[in-house]
Structure 1
Amino acid sequence: MSERVRWSWSRLRAPLLLLTLVTSSLVAAACTENLEGGAACPSLCPEQSQQVRDTTFEAVALDTSLGGFPSLGLSATMLLANRPDTVVTRNILRYDALVTSFNPNGTGALDSITTIDSVYLRLPLDTSGRRGTAPVTVQVFDVDTTASDTVPAVLRSLFRPDRLLGALTVTPFTTGDTIKIPLSKTAVARKIAAKARLRLGLRLVGGTGQLRPRAFTLGTGAATVQYDPATDTTYRPIAVATTTTIAGATPDVNLAYTVYSLTDVGSPPLTANTLLVGGYPAYRTYLRFNVPARITDSSTIVRADLILTQQRSRFGNANDTVAVLPIVPATTSAVSDLRRILDLAAEGRFAGVDSTRLVPSDSGARTINVLALARNWRNLPTNVPRALAFRISQEGAQPAELRFFNSKAAAGLRPKLRITYLPKSEFVLP
């Protein structure tokens, strides 16, 4: 290297070194100074991030519980129970279209049914709902009447000895997935000859226990009335499915009264300062939230929990572990009927809110992760309330209930949201 080049570099090295030191000092100052705006530093100094904030507050604008679930006709299973200190129910099954003719030996010609044999009610069961180790008797009654048979008091009056069609004694805990209850051949043959309808009422007597009959599985799976159309054993038995037609009723009302339950003894009434999920008939709980836009719309939520304080319950299957299932209301504020809002709500798993398993007889604070739901609030239209609701598993087919304190309870017991978030930072030149 020539002397001139070495001399030029030695003269430039000092200013460059000074410039480097000054630049480093400015960057260091920018990274340590607490700027009011706060937006420049994270961009200049990627190693320093915004401070994560954590807040727990009473965000519930409305909370309430609504009973009478599930709607008639919409339950996959029913509860048939005789537990006098807890729950007592009856089941109604309607067969308004009995088969009155058959095809003898596949000849193609239809003959009227004049005699029948092997008549019984085939009752599929959900074996997870069996309770009781002592024998009980399932009784079947003819509950058809010209009176208003959608009125529970009218139906209960028809459970009397002169209307008994059949009975079967079983031990609930040892039953299989189906039981067959023999029915009176004479009574059913009379109905077939008259082309009349058959409406059955079921109850348990003679002991304490419960069964869980299947109602519908994708439109099938309910109990059937089965009989042979003749005494000749070569004829295939006829199975009649449940169906009903109520004069002037809409299809959904007809569906509701095809297979349903009556409650003789149910869960205690809802008390003050309480939210109720489950019970019999079952309740659902609805919560609407009011969360500041600076959190939902102007931050990144990294954690969100709903904190509920559970009350101890002694009703039903109090010591069993039961699942609380979240549902997400998605209707706009134009819909004010809470029953309709809950009927139209989507399953919580589709919104990323998982079920929570609890024991009714326990108490204390319970935390439910609602992070996915809270993150989605910013995407909802302004006319869709930020809300969450809960129902119990096997709703309408088991009596367990969960009770929580509501927003009118003492301050330390009220529902709360706990949210951890990172305030949004926009790049701004200092």
Structure 2
Amino acid sequence: MTERVRFTSWPRFRGPLLLCGLVLAALTAAACTESLDGGAACPSLCPSTAESFRDTIVDAVVLDSSLAGYPALGLSPLILIANRPDTVVTSAIIRFDVLPTVFSANRGATVDSITAVDSVFLRFPLDSTGRRGIRPVTLEVYDVDTTASDSVTSVVRSLFRPDRRIGSLVFTPSAIGDSIRIPFSKTVMAAKIAAKGRLRLGVRIRGGSGQLRAVAFVVGSGAPSVVFDPSTDTTYAPQQISPSTILPNSTADVELAYAVYMISDIASPPPGENTLVVGGFPAYRSYLRFNVPSRITDSSTIVRAEVLLTQQASTFGNAADSVGLFALIPTTTSLVTDLRRILDLAAAGSFAGVDSTLL
């Protein structure tokens, strides 16, 4: 990608200011013409011709780099469950590390142990905006709990196998509303509760091309949840469990990030040589640092700047897709040299007074 910067500037001359000072000191107007009709710096003594705006294109980029992995784990309000083998294939991981072992029958005073369960569902609130597929697909649920290091993506991915599949649902994405319920094995659920264990579920789409955007908020009513009857007696009110995870020697924000997250089997390819990438999945962001030549800053006032980028053809977007490009302005000082830290602390261009529509 070729980057250049176009500056629109107003020439700024320091000569008339100095000249007018000398004239006043000598009590003479010898340095000026006889026309006394104004210059901007010294209107009575130093007339000047108005200068027009000038556009200048320079190769001012001194550093450019693309960084992958956005949004950061746990910071996205949505998770993508997709099966588009030519572009992106992702799965969702939802952890329920604290399972109830007792329940209050219809919220009464009596507390009973959970010895049997019925009607077990994984409930996903969905983002109902955007286009959805019109062909039926199969959403599968897997038991991805393991004693191995399941913070490693390759370990979790290996658990999506037939003997671990505990539930499924065939549906048409365009025909569902703002949530979906996927039934899964009550036998597995009952065994997890009896063992005072944990429930860690993996969800993926099989049997057709499609995608869902599910709400990922862990705190509040918008989070995914497991809903089940705590007894075979159908008169009892269902129980609902919210995601949570317990990670040894970890912080609260890391545990929150791993309660609901995504893994990718097929994702955006890394940028090639001399290429910057913006967007994709997981998304890339590009960082550019400029050094404006002193020949411009010393003699002009810059009133507008544009970044000119040469786009390469992409095979991953649909012809009818629209793309938005937004500027982020670093808010750190030069003491911060970590590019990811700089981007994480960047502010929206509108906040910093930058019109991103010029990009």
- TM-score, with normalisation over the residues of structure 1? 0.70
Check the 8 A contact 1:42/1:49 in 2, yes or no: no
Question: Which residue of 1 is the match for residue 94 of structure 2?
Answer: 93
Matched residues in 1 for 2:254 and 2:205: separation?
A: 27
Check the 8 A contact 2:105/2:237 in 1, yes or no: no
Check the 8 A contact 2:123/2:226 in 1, yes or no: yes
Per residue, is there more helix in 1 or in 2? 1
Question: Which residue of 1 is the match for residue 112 of structure 2?
Answer: 111
Matched residues in 1 for 2:200 and 2:95: separation?
A: 4
Question: Which residue of 1 is the match for residue 42 of structure 2?
Answer: 40
| Structure 1 residue 42, shift from structure 2 partner | 7.7
Check the 8 A contact 1:327/1:345 in 2, yes or no: yes
Matched residues in 2 for 1:330 and 1:321: separation?
A: 29
Matching of residue 183 in structure 1 with residue 184 in structure 2: yes
Which moved further from structure 2: 302-311 or 87-96? Answer: 302-311
Question: Which residue of 2 is the match for residue 266 of structure 1?
Answer: 267
Secondary structure at the aligned position of 2:336 is classed as: coil
Q: How does 1:187-266 map to 2 (within 5 A)?
A: 187-216=188-217, 221-266=222-267
| Structure 1 residue 311, shift from structure 2 partner | 1.5
Matching of residue 29 in structure 1 with residue 35 in structure 2: yes
Q: How does 1:5-404 map to 2 (within 5 A)?
A: 29-31=35-37, 39-41=41-43, 49-216=50-217, 221-292=222-293, 300-317=301-318, 319-356=320-357, 367-368=358-359
Matched residues in 2 for 1:147 and 1:185: separation?
A: 24
Check the 8 A contact 2:329/2:346 in 1, yes or no: yes
User: Deviations for 1:38-75, whole angstroms, at most 9, x for unmatched residues?
Assistant: 73248876x96454333222221211111111111111
Secondary structure at the aligned position of 1:260 is classed as: strand
Q: 1:39 is matched by which residue type in structure 2?
A: A
Q: 1:58 is matched by which residue type in structure 2?
A: D
Secondary structure at the aligned position of 2:253 is classed as: helix
Matched residues in 2 for 1:241 and 1:296: separation?
A: 57
Matched residues in 1 for 2:99 and 2:268: separation?
A: 37
Matched residues in 2 for 1:176 and 1:355: separation?
A: 35
Matched residues in 2 for 1:340 and 1:28: separation?
A: 60
Check the 8 A contact 2:142/2:166 in 1, yes or no: yes
1:167–1:44 distance in 2 versus 1, CA, 3 Å? same
Matched residues in 1 for 2:318 and 2:72: separation?
A: 22
**Which runs of no fewer than 5 residues in structure 2 stay unpaired?**
1-28
Larger Rg: 1
Check the 8 A contact 1:66/1:284 in 2, yes or no: yes
1:110–1:354 distance in 2 versus 1, CA, 3 Å? farther
Matched residues in 1 for 2:188 and 2:242: separation?
A: 18
| Structure 1 residue 28, shift from structure 2 partner | 5.7
| Structure 1 residue 160, shift from structure 2 partner | 1.7
Matched residues in 2 for 1:248 and 1:205: separation?
A: 36
Check the 8 A contact 2:127/2:178 in 1, yes or no: yes
Check the 8 A contact 1:130/1:211 in 2, yes or no: no
Superposition RMSD in Å = 2.7
Q: 2:314 is matched by which residue type in structure 1?
A: S
Q: How many residues are paired up?
A: 329
Check the 8 A contact 1:136/1:209 in 2, yes or no: yes
Which moved further from structure 2: 100-109 or 146-155? Answer: 100-109
| Structure 1 residue 129, shift from structure 2 partner | 4.9
| Structure 1 residue 252, shift from structure 2 partner | 2.5
